[in-house]
Amino acid sequence: MTARRAPKAAPKTAISSFTEIATLRIDLKDSNPPIWRLVEVPTSITLKVLHDIVQVTMGWLDYHLWEFRIDGTVYGLPMDEDWGTAPRKSADRTRLRDVVATGTTHIDYIYDFGDYWEHVLTISDIRAGEPAIGYPRFISGERDCPPEDCSGIPGFYELLEARADPSHPGHADIREWLEGYTPDELDEFPIEVALARIAARRNAAAKVVSVNVV
């Protein structure tokens, strides 16, 4: 799945570009029932910050390598070894507004090259943000994300089956490992707190942008 680009628009001022937002839907691929989130994000963020937003919104712990795939190009962070991955462009030097199209853009995001959690990011409804609102902002979502290091989607559902089956040889250990984990529930509070921290950093940067423009 690749991003679809639109013809370049007329240049924007620094402030208008900084305050532009988009609706971001995050879907964990092959999850059934679906695991998804809906967030409003600034288009001025770098892809590294987009990664941070996906991590805290989904509930991942940022333990592993990751990458974006957009329009045939791979974006990530520099690595000492390529680990068999394709050459990449710098995610912290590429802004979201530079890789999205007018209308709807689809981006592939891979987290943890071992478990290989695939996400589809759908970006739409690019528009001016509201001055009184801090972005990024959580809108809605369903279901908790899987635990880290459980062997991807197949391993995740095998884990849940084993927890529900007292006759499974690993039942007791898995119950202990997943104690307190409820896949059908989503705790929105930590998501909102984490996104508020990102928004606070942006607000500090916005003051710098305003001073420089003036």
Domain edges within the chain = 14-144+184-213, 147-182
pLDDT tier for residue 206 given thresholds of 50, 70 and 90: low
Is the distance from CB of 94 to CB of 102 less than 8 angstroms?
A: no
Cβ-defined contacts of 10-16 (< 8 Å, 24+)? 13/213, 14/209, 14/212, 14/213, 15/209, 15/210, 15/213, 16/128
- Partnered with residue 127 across adjacent β-strands are 21
The region of weakest confidence among 15-19, 69-73, 85-89, 137-141 is: 15-19
What is the percent of the chain where pLDDT is above 90? 76
Q: What is the DSSP letter of 42?
A: E
Q: Is the dihedral of CA 193, 39, 126, 123 positive or negative?
A: positive
Residue 150 is predicted with a pLDDT of 96
Residue 19 is predicted with a pLDDT of 85
Mean pLDDT computed over every residue of the chain: 89
Q: 14-144+184-213 has which fold?
A: 3.10.290
pLDDT tier for residue 85 given thresholds of 50, 70 and 90: low
pTM of the predicted protein model: 0.87
- Partnered with residue 110 across adjacent β-strands are 67, 118
What is the percent of the chain where pLDDT is above 70? 84
